[in-house]
Every structure is written in C-alpha cells, then in structure tokens.
Structure 1
Amino acid sequence: MADQLYLSLWFPNFRLETLPQALTGVLRQFATISADPRVAAASAYPIDFTESPTYQRIYVTDDRAAETPDTLAAAIDSAVAEATEGLHDDMAYEFEMKWNLWFPEAKAPDEEAPEPDDLPDDLEDSFEDIAPRKQPIPFPSKPGEEKTIDAGWKRYPTSVRFIGFGPEFEQSGYEQNGHIRVDFGLDTPWVLEDEELDKNAAKHIQQNVEMLLAFTLLVEKHCNISSRLLWTESGEPLAEKLIARLQRLN
C-alpha cells in the first residue's frame, strides 16, 4: 500500500525569526536538482491546517511567464519573503516546488516533464548508503541520453511541499514534525509496490532514490541542521521497503 513520505528537519537554537532564512536555504538546495527552480505556490495557515490560509499565491511558472513579473516574484527569496512578511508563532508557511521523477508511462501524472538537469557530481554514488547497486546507473546529462534505459518510462513533474512551522502551530507540533517538514507525497515513485519489478524498473526506481538522497545530503551539507528524519506515515522505513522490493529481482 502506498505511504506518505516526509523529511523532518530540526535546526540548532531555532527561533521564529530565523524561519524564513531556514526555508530559503532548504528551497535553494531543492532547486539545484529540480528542473524548475521556481516556487509554484505559497500559503500561510493560522493555528492548524483545518483553518483557511490567511495568505495564498499561485505562481505562473510555465514558458509563457518567462519575462513576466510573476516569474521574477517566483524566485525563492522573493516568494519566502512575501509569504512570511507577517511572522506569527501560531502560523505555518507552505511552499510548493516540483521535481522530475521516473514513472511507468501507464501510471504517468498529467503533465510531462522537460528534460532533467544533472545531479551534483559528488552525490552520484550516494545511493549505496541506502541499498547496494548491482551495476552503475547512468545519470542523463544530455537531452535524449536517458532514452537508452527508459523503455516504457518517462520523467514527470511531481510536487513537493515544504512547510515551516511556528512554535505554537498545532500546539507546538514542530517538536515532532520538525522545524521544517518536507512532504514528498506518496512513496510510489520509490517503491512501486503494485508493479512487477524487472531490471529496467529497478533502474528507474534507483534513479528516483538517488534524487531523494541527493536532496537530503545537500540539505545536511549546506543548511546547518541539527538533525533530520526521513519517515513514512505508517512508520515503515523507506530503506527497508526499497531493499525488500529490489531483492525480489531474480
């Protein structure tokens, strides 16, 4: 069964006034591995998520917006500054961005992704920290290079939500959720539990995992966090689910 996947981040000596800077840093790291470095939407929620947002903006991020004020405002610094202009202890600030993940074409999201960018070179081999790979996995660096391994698969834009919590939001829920929580959505791109795995599918799942790991390591390296936790709503570790899936291959 598909499970929600999250990354919780805690910062040393956290104070509310440092939240915009922390959010900006995390979003910038995500932008380095995302096909689109712009913020797609921003919201501010009072008290808890059952309340209507007091601030909400959806940015125009398609090609038509290339030279518009909306595109300029969608820059990470501007988007965070605008959404957090009124900082309050009982508010949560949410930002949406997109990255490109592999999906079987039969299960494709609605919108096809543009060609993906490279991952940072120093993170290319980091997947071994989660599960051993049987052979090297090429990272697409030129348009069309991924076509050697993409039989029946394509990259599609997938939304990721970044939520910064005020200390009194949801009765101090940030102590458990993290000062910032990243919501990756369902773990389907990394596990594909309802798919019959072959070596081709395993390669694409591994590339999705490498994207996830690359972002996590970039945050750890550049965002001055004190701790992090990658977790699922059910409590079942993603690494164990992934290894169990890959071990089914002959």
Structure 2
Amino acid sequence: MADQLYLSLWFPNFRFDALPAAMVAVLRQFALVGKNKRVSAAAAYPISFTEPAIYSRVYVLDARAEESKDTEDAIIENAVAECTELLHEDTAYEFEMKWQLWTPEGGEGFDTVWKLAPATVRFLGFGPQFDDATFEQNGHIRVDFGLDTPWVFDEEEDFGDEEAQAEAAKHIKENVEMLLAFTLSVEKHCGISSRLLWTESGEPLAEKLIARLQRLN
C-alpha cells in the first residue's frame, strides 16, 4: 500500500531568522541532484495548514517564461527571499521543486514501459509557533516526497518476465540512488544536527526498500 514519504531536518542552535538561508541550502542540494535549478511554486501559511495562504505564487517555467520575469524570479535565492520577506513565527513557508523519476506506464507485465516523469517535491520551513510548534516532531525543515511508490511500488505489481523484472529493478534502484544522494548531500553540506527519513504509516522505509529490491532480484 502506498505511503507518504518525508525527510525531517533539524539544525543545531537554530534561530528562526536563519530559516531562509537554511532553506536555500537545502534547495540547492536538491537542485544538484534533481538537475533543476528553479522553484515551481511558493506559499506561506499562517497558524496552521487549515488557514488560507497569505502568500502564494506559481512560476511559469515553460516556453512562456521567456516573455515573463518568472525565469529569474524562480531562481532559488530569489524565490525564497520573496516568500520569506516578512518572517512570522506562526507561519510555515512552502516551496515546490521537481525532479525526474522513473515511472512505469502502459499496464502490467510485458506492456510496462518505463519513462522519466516529473515529480513534485515540497519543502516546508516551520516557524516556532506554527501549528503548536510542529517543528519539534516534523523538523525545522520537512521535505515531502509524495507517495513512496517510485522507490518501492506496490508489492502486487507484476513487471513480466525476467528481463522485465531486471529492468524494473534497475529503474527502482536509480530512483533510490537519487533519494539517497539528496539525503546524504543535505547531511554533508547543510549543517544539520539530525535527520529522519520516515513514512506516514510509521513503517520503516529501509525494510520496505530491501524487501522490494530482494523480490525484484
């Protein structure tokens, strides 16, 4: 069963006014791994996620961007500076970026075709008073990867004969390598004190990955 996948990050002796710089550092590492240097959307939520956003912007990054300011404004440093221009301790700041993950298309078994497809990743920086100090459990910055299917897929999925299974294993491993590369890059370059890669159900991700790869191999 598909599960939500998160990466929580905590920083030592963290001061709230350092959140923009910390967010920029994390987004830069994602840009290096995902080979995408621009933010696709940004928002700020007061009090809790049940409240409407007090800031929201979606960037035009397709061919139309050549005729707008969005290409420049979507640069990581610019997008973070604009969204966090007014820092409030009861606010969460959200940024979206995309990377390319291998995804099966066209059905099951011999009909499966693997393609690289864009996947949205959300980065949330929490003010210390947002949602009853949710940062204590979720991290000063939380990365939301969406459903964990690109890394484990449904256990009932049938990719066909041995050759098809081998291809599936190869692409799943490539997705896993990207996930781990980003996680390790953040640990090495962002000055964090601790991190936690976790799923919403609480099921250990490492065990799911190992079980899935063993089945494919």
TM-score (norm 2): 0.92
Partner of 1:208: 175
Deviation of the 1:249 alpha carbon: 3.5
In the aligned structure 1, how far is the partner of 2:206 from the partner of 2:126? 27
What pairs up with 1:86-165 in 2 under 5 angstroms? 86-106=86-106, 152-165=113-126
Query: Number of aligned pairs?
Result: 207
Partner of 2:199: 232
Give a deviation string over 1:21-69, Cα, whole Å, max 9, x none.
0000000110112242110000000000000000000001113314631
Deviation of the 1:245 alpha carbon: 1.3
Structure with more of its chain in strand, by fraction: 2
Amino acid of the residue matched to residue 16 of structure 2? Answer: L
User: Which 10-residue stretch deviates more, 26-35 or 61-70?
Assistant: 61-70
What pairs up with 1:41-80 in 2 under 5 angstroms? 41-66=41-66, 68-80=68-80
SS in 2 for 1:219: helix
Checking the alignment, whether the CA contact within 8 Å between 1:3 and 1:188 is kept in structure 2 is yes
Deviation of the 1:106 alpha carbon: 2.5
What pairs up with 1:216-227 in 2 under 5 angstroms? 216-227=183-194
Where do 5+ consecutive residues of structure 2 fail to align? Answer: 160-164
Where do 5+ consecutive residues of structure 1 fail to align? Answer: 108-150
What pairs up with 1:17-56 in 2 under 5 angstroms? 17-56=17-56
Amino acid of the residue matched to residue 158 of structure 2? Answer: E
2:153 maps to 1:186: no
Partner of 1:118: none
Checking the alignment, whether the CA contact within 8 Å between 2:103 and 2:115 is kept in structure 1 is yes
Amino acid of the residue matched to residue 206 of structure 1? Answer: K
TM-score (norm 1): 0.80
Checking the alignment, whether the CA contact within 8 Å between 2:10 and 2:194 is kept in structure 1 is yes
Structure with more of its chain in helix, by fraction: 2
Runs of 4 or more, structure 1, over 6 Å off, are none
Compute the RMSD of aligned alpha carbons: 1.3
Q: CA 1:195 to 1:19, structure 2 compared with 1: closer, same or farther past 3 Å?
A: same
Checking the alignment, whether the CA contact within 8 Å between 1:35 and 1:98 is kept in structure 2 is no
Checking the alignment, whether the CA contact within 8 Å between 1:90 and 1:170 is kept in structure 2 is yes
Checking the alignment, whether the CA contact within 8 Å between 2:168 and 2:216 is kept in structure 1 is no
